[in-house]
Amino acid sequence: MRPSHFPLRAFQWPLLALSLLLSASSVARAQADKDRAARVRERVDGEVESLTKLYKSLHTHPELSNEEEQTAARLAKELSGLGFEVTTGVGGHGVVGVLKNGAGPTVLVRCDMDALPVTEKTELPYASKVRTRDKEGKEVGVMHACGHDIHMTCWVGTARVLAALKERWKGTLVFIGQPAEEVGAGARRMLDDGLFKRFPRPDYCLGLHCDPRHPHGHVVYSEGALLANVDTVDITVRGRGGHGSAPHTTIDPIVLGARIVLDLQTLVSREIEPMEAAVVTVGSFQGGTKHNIIPSEVKLQITVRSLKDDVRKHLLEGIQRIAKTAAEGARAPEPIVRIDLDNFTPALYNNAELAKKTAKVFRDVLGADKVHERGPILGGEDFSRYGRDGIPIFFYFLGTMPPEKVEAARKGGPPLPSLHSDLYYPIPEPSIRTGVTTMSHAVLNLLRD
């Protein structure tokens, strides 16, 4: 008798039944995922034209950080129309929408709303022509040069899709429109205003950001460190002014400031382990009024980037030490060093488990060739603050450029515009489609029916 004809023993029947049950469950789950993907695709197809119009309107009417009043009102209206319970004025112009749909996890989805003081030069038919005055009273152009208009549009689109598919998930949605991301203050202010106390505390937080280096239809993510600690430091270098023909009667703060700028570079090159990420950039050196006048002071503006908190501590202490020591050597008054802790942005670390499971969904939906893992970069994002309280977060980048331009740039052709460039603009329809599709699936994967 062949082995395959041996009868099953009694203890083997339950194992066989369990195996068949698991197999049937797996097939049913796969079919459910397939059906859900079809429903999401159908909803996105139905919304993309309206969402593109919304995007162009948001792009045409940008507002600076802490001035997002009309933008916030537009987002609040969108959520209210979908059945969300909406609260405005959270941490400034922040918007919080809550949609409950039975017992289940709570998922927070965030977008940022503020624009930049940049005069747009894209020559798009919907280009921003807005001009206003910044906090220092200077007239500036205003532009969504960092893609926050795409972020808001994808956020609205995701809310529409999820509200229409309530039979497909159980749990609670918390959708937040965050102000003041560009100045690093919005997330902190919303948290200080009770975001996780006045509203359902999330089990997961999700966000996305435009990427000007990848083609539309693609997404980029990490399973850990993604973005940097960002600190802003101002140094007032003090000296003793006088006539340019008699420098011996002065303490020249310009020479002293130049010495400090050069000495600061040794912080990274000689004090930080070479394999650690660290940047100290002096972005502004201001002082003096005339050729033959030695001023009494100059001002330095510095951005400091790091991935690890101990590296950050070393850099900030080193800046103060170098500035003070240089002044002592020149017999100058002690410089004033101001570290702007209000606008500090912590490093962003994606939760590895959440990143793995979400990236798998993205590969299933977009194809493995359109989902890319990458290492950290030294940009900053205050979305990181939502994960500082022990909540798993996942933040990913959304490709927004024409594939042919990306390919040409990789081959040495015209360079791609960067974020914050007056020439940067996403390709709306395919970028929105991918953003809404991926974020909707990311949420549904956490709120399974």
Question: Which residue is associated with the tokens 């960067």?
Answer: 418
Residue type at position 188: R
Residue of 395, 436, 402 whose CA lies nearest to 417: 402
DSSP string, 264-323: HHHIIIIIS-TTS-EEEEEEEEEE-SSTTEE-SEEEEEEEEEESSHHHHHHHHHHHHHHH
Check 67, 114, 252, 297 and give the catalytic one.
114
The 229-238 sheet, strands edge to edge: 278-287, 297-306, 229-238, 336-339
SS3 154: helix
Q: Rounded to the nearest 5°, which phi and psi values hold at 162?
A: -70, -35
For the question of residue 114 being annotated catalytic, the response is yes
DSSP string, 203-237: SEEEEEEEEEEEETT-EEE-SSEEE-EEEEEEEEE
Look up residue 119 and give its two tokens: 């005069």
Question: Which residue is associated with the tokens 């000296």?
Answer: 239
Check 67, 68, 78, 181 and give the catalytic one.
181
Euclidean distance between CA atoms 320 and 339, whole angstroms: 9
Catalytic amino acids? Answer: 114, 181
